[in-house]
Amino acid sequence: MTEKDTTHFGYREVNKDEKAGLVAGVFDSVAQRYDLMNDLMSGGIHRLWKRFTIELSGVRPGHSVLDIAGGTGDLAAKFSRLVGEAGQVVLADINYAMLTVGRDKLLDHGLAENLAFVQADAQYLPFPDASFDCITIAFGLRNVTDKDQALGDMLRVLKPGGRLLVLEFSKPKNPLLSKAYDAYSFSVLPVMGRLVAGDSDSYRYLAESIRVHPDQDTLKGMMEDAGFARVEYHNMTGGVVALHRGVKA
C-alpha cells in the first residue's frame, strides 16, 4: 500500500477503504452509553464547549443548519429551538446506531417538527449546493477518512456567508497539562470505557485518534485551503479542545 492508499485508525495505519467500517464498529459499540460517557469523561465540561459553539454560530430564527456527525443530538436540540418553526435542522451521522439514539432522544423531547435525520458521509453530503446557513461538526472530523474532501463538500453545501464550526479535541499548549491529559486518556479512559460501556478498546481508539488529528494551526490551514475565509480558532480548556470557525465568501 502506498501512503495515498492509507490513513490513520488511531495509531494503526490502515487502508482508506477499511477506516469507515472500523469507525462504525467503534460507534456501534458505544452508542447506547455515549451520552453518559461524555459526561463522565469531561466532567460535564463538554456542555460548555457546545454552548460556546452555539454562541459563535450566529444561527437565528428561520436559518437552516446541518449538524454533521451529530450523534445523539446535543447541538441539534439547541439549534432546533433557535431556528424556530420557520427554520430547519438536519442531524446527519454516518453511523446508524448513533443516528437512531439521537433521533429517539430528540423525538422524546418533542423536537420533531423542524428536524430531519439523515444517514450521511461527511465526504459525500447528499444535499444541493448552497443549502445551509450554518454547518457544525463536533468531535467528528477526526473520524473522517479524507478530511480535505469533507471540508470541500461542507463548503459546497453552505450558502454564501454561511459558517462552518468545527469543535474538536486538539493539542494542549501547556506541557504539564499535555502530560496529565495523556496519562488520563491512556490510563483512565479505557478503564472507564470497560466499566461503563463494556468496551475499553473503543475508548483507547478515541484517545489515539485525538493524537493523530491535525493540531490547531494545521486544521486552520486545511480550512483555508478548502476555500473558507476568515478562519479563526478558539482554544478551550487549555487547548484540550479547539473551536474552528470559517465563512464561505
Whether domain 27-173+205-247 has CATH 3.40.50.150: the reply is: yes
Cα 155 from Cα 159, distance rounded (Å): 8
Cα 66 from Cα 88, distance rounded (Å): 9
Cα 219 from Cα 244, distance rounded (Å): 8
- Compute the mean pLDDT over every residue in the chain, rounded to the nearest whole number: 91
Residue 36 pLDDT > 70: yes
pLDDT of 111-125, one tens digit each? Answer: 878 999 999 999 999
What cell was used for 30?
Answer: 458505544
Cα 80 from Cα 64, distance rounded (Å): 10
Residue 25 burial (CB < 10 Å; 0-12/13-18/19+)? middle
122 annotated ligand-binding residue: yes
Residue 159 in contact with residue 130, Cβ under 8 Å?
yes
pLDDT of 189-217, one tens digit each? Answer: 888 878 877 778 888 888 899 899 999 99
* Pick from 5-14, 160-169, 230-239: least confident: 5-14
Cα 202 from Cα 162, distance rounded (Å): 34
Portion of the chain with pLDDT greater than 90, in percent: 64
The number of residues making up the chain comes to 249
Average pLDDT over residues 171-176: 93
93 annotated ligand-binding residue: yes
Q: Name the residue ranges covered by the structural domains of the chain.
A: 27-173+205-247
72 annotated ligand-binding residue: yes
* CA-angle at 57, arms to 237 and 64, nearest 5°: 140
pTM over 0.85: yes
Closest by CA position to 137, among listed 60, 39, 189, 123:
123
pLDDT of 38-83, one tens digit each? Answer: 777 788 899 999 999 999 999 999 999 999 999 889 999 999 999 9
